[in-house]
Amino acid sequence: MTEKKRVGFIGLGLMGSRMARNILKAGFPLTVWNRTREKMKPLLEAGAEGADSPREVAERSDVVIDIVTDSPDVEEVLLGPQGVIHGARPGLIVIDMSTISPIVTRRIAEKLAEKGVRMLDAPVSGGIIGAEKGTLSIMVGGDYETFKECLPIFEAMGKTITYCGGHGMGQMVKAVNQILVSMTMLAVAEALMFASKAGLDLETTLKAVSGGAAGSWQLTNNGARLLRGDLEPGFKVEHLLKDLRIIMEVAREINMPLPGTALAYQLYRSLMAEGLGEKGTQAVIKVYEKLAGAPLLRGEE
């Protein structure tokens, strides 16, 4: 029987903490690090070991996973003064599961390769629910043989695991995902606001349209949340806005107009200005309520 790889995990936020727990449940020896050390405690109690720096995580691991907020954060934990690169030995595999710029991804992969370290970019979709249940969609870029070697680790965290091509291609596919996510969420909010203003019963309407061609994950999940008045995050506004910013930067690089995505970016920026960055992406309903001059849920009038 092949011995399980020693896994290191950096970044224990809403997503990372749940993903790391599933790796531990799958029987992988796990070492964790988080900038806020208090967030390490539940995993340490569950059997993981703690490290004092990303460098120390690398020293103890065969595979190091990170999932942090943005490109500068990834560069810091991987290449910074106490970064993974300084504890790495040839043959180490780094899996960056953050959503960042594919341009930055390729630059980091080149720097790690100089040390004999292999890198995969593997952003995820599925939110907190998918992270909790181990059913994430994982989009992987990098060397195919390295991808196959890490498949058992991916299978501990996700259900739909797709090899997308070379370095940065996982991030490119995630960009496609986020275009769809953001614009579908706008459509859900706009349609439900229309239904409310038209005097329709929202639960009946949601049931009627969910089973037809308009059905989608966003409609079923975030549509239902809106009907409960639930704006708590499965995925935060501030994080989607960051993703949309990256997408717009890439679009400029490849000379691709994205008018719908640009609209989504501006509407989500308005939510940030309202102090709603910590809410879930379904909070875009607040924009439509202002435009309509009425609340979605008529009992709130």
Give me the active site residues, please. 174
What are the helix (H) ranges across 69-201?
71-79, 102-113, 127-133, 144-157, 169-197
How distant, in Å, are the alpha carbons of 38, 140, 193, 213, 239 from that of 69?
18, 18, 32, 34, 8
What is d(CA 216, CA 222) in angstroms, rounded to the nearest whole number? 10
3-class secondary structure, 263: helix
Residues 152, 134 contacting (CB under 8 angstroms) = no
- Give me the phi and psi of 142, to 5 degrees please: 130, -165
* Buried/exposed 58-68: b ≥16 CB within 10 Å, e otherwise: bbbbbbbbbbb
Q: Are strands 63-66 and 118-121 parallel, antiparallel or unpaired?
A: unpaired
Helices (H) and strands (E) in the chain, counts: 13, 9
What is d(CA 137, CA 134) in angstroms, rounded to the nearest whole number? 9
